[in-house]
Structure 1
């Protein structure tokens, strides 16, 4: 081979390697950030602090750059009015939605709706009125409600009736504003009254209000009942909000036993247009863990 031909071939080979490297890098970046997802996944504060810093507003902007279209924030009611307004304005400017925040009912499990005690109810109803104002500032629609523990001195049906009555009173506050409290069955303790999707479905039917629906958290319900897709089908007419986390561990998809690609495909095929809250931790720390999180959602979301 003459020298001119050798140099030409060497340049072409180097160029091809460079283009291949650039394509691989571009593919990796696409996997991490850019395009929106098929479903409307909602991260929360701290999920991307290693990339975006500690400021929540900066984190929200970074989430938007990644292709996320919503956030959720359980502690929104504890934030200052000024911070709530800044978050609401930021979401509006980015075309993002606000997911759930938690309504304080006064005590995690002790002040239970199941007891039928008016002093417990008054604390909850006062928080409902406050939640309306928070929702207006943040452009929110959904608020998480957990009824509390069993009141084991009372018959179960009486407890259920007490829970229904309290929720009806809450729904009366939210209905004029088009807001929705979503009831979340939990697995944190066997003392908690609300445990399964079908139990929650029955209660929503009894409350009979567009302002009282189900928050279906697949992490908790995989632990409590399993059979996720079948139970979602049973309860579909009352489900208004989804949250996820893999089990065991409560981390991102592909860290546990749940086939989230199938779960997400089911939601899409059902025509679910609501929010899928990412209520879980990260399996790894640092920027690498945050990149792994996004890559897991890209993979699970690729069901079409």
Structure 2
């Protein structure tokens, strides 16, 4: 092509982009007025998933606008612990937005899926009934957003009973929950936590054993690296030991539970290890931000760029 025609065509292309409310963004990328990036440029090696409010200073308080902003920054998934508490119309709008953008829905928490007030370790039928009702509700919620994973925490220890009996009660309840979820392809991911010593589920090995006993594709491990660093450490080794039962991973540096690079954990090495194992699932960003305002949100993105730069 002659140089004069090339320049003229380039100018026309740029004018057309602006006429349709868009702007050129370099290297063949077009960002439209809706904030939707047209190619995969700028994505990460792993599927990190922000949550509602994480970029509110940069994109406003509307969750849909935040999702579009997350997409523009290269993120290809979200998670939303409180999804079941949202209006059904908003759930459907979230699902539609994710579908249009080609993004994945990460975990949401099963409503009353086991807590200190209705621990599954107690073996009480009324507590199990609450959990099963939450599982049925989770199936309907998942359909609206095309979710594949839902978080379950069995609750607190029931210290009136021997530990093995408590474990049996938890396994029985989770088997019944799996019977509800399995026909719909929804996986409950069990999350061992460090928030309080009263919590029944504490370690990855304990959770692995329970998943094996439940023996269902709908009962797997949520490996939250912040909690596991606090409870057991030796993350890469313990992750490898439980790898065949891990279906979902969450992130948070320790101490402080903020973005990678703010604590003691070498997230670049951890992310590299997870990537090399061939993990294709979601990596939930279940943590806070170390700095306030837009500057803090930009620093958050930079922290993930740095930790994701492992190749």
| TM-score, length of structure 1 as denominator length | 0.88
Aligned residue number for residue 86 of structure 1: 93
Secondary structure in 1 matching 2:48? strand
Is the 1:52–1:59 contact (alpha carbons within 8 Å) kept by the matching residues of 2?
A: yes
| TM-score, length of structure 2 as denominator length | 0.86
CA deviation map 1:214-263 (0-9, x unaligned): 00000001000000000001000000000010000000000000000011
CA deviation map 1:194-213 (0-9, x unaligned): 00000000000000000000
Structure 2's unaligned 5+ residue stretches are: 1-25, 27-36
Distance 1:148 1:231 in 2: 23
Aligned residue number for residue 162 of structure 1: 169
Aligned residue number for residue 202 of structure 1: 209
CA deviation map 1:80-100 (0-9, x unaligned): 110000000000000000000
Secondary structure in 2 matching 1:58? helix
> Which residue among 74, 84, 105 is the counterpart of 1:98?
105
Task: Report how many aligned residue pairs link the two structures.
Answer: 273
User: Would you say 1:303 and 2:310 are equivalent positions?
Assistant: yes
Secondary structure in 2 matching 1:240? strand
For residue 108 of structure 1, report the CA deviation from its aligned partner.
3.1
Displaced runs of 4+ in structure 1, greater than 3 A? Answer: none
Distance 1:176 1:199 in 2: 26
For residue 110 of structure 1, report the CA deviation from its aligned partner.
2.2
Aligned residue number for residue 114 of structure 1: 121
User: Cα RMSD (Å) of the superposition?
Assistant: 1.2
The structure richer in helix per residue is 1
Secondary structure in 1 matching 2:247? strand
Distance 2:47 2:104 in 1: 9
CA deviation map 1:157-215 (0-9, x unaligned): 00000000000000000110111000000000000000000000000000000000000
Distance 1:268 1:297 in 2: 14
Which is higher, the Rg of structure 1 or of structure 2?
1
Distance 1:144 1:256 in 2: 25
Secondary structure in 2 matching 1:168? helix
For residue 104 of structure 1, report the CA deviation from its aligned partner.
1.8
Structure 1's unaligned 5+ residue stretches are: 1-25, 27-32
For residue 109 of structure 1, report the CA deviation from its aligned partner.
1.6
Aligned residue number for residue 12 of structure 2: none
CA deviation map 1:1-30 (0-9, x unaligned): xxxxxxxxxxxxxxxxxxxxxxxxx9xxxx
Superposition pairs of residues 1-304 of structure 1, within 5 angstroms: 35-105=42-112, 108-304=115-311
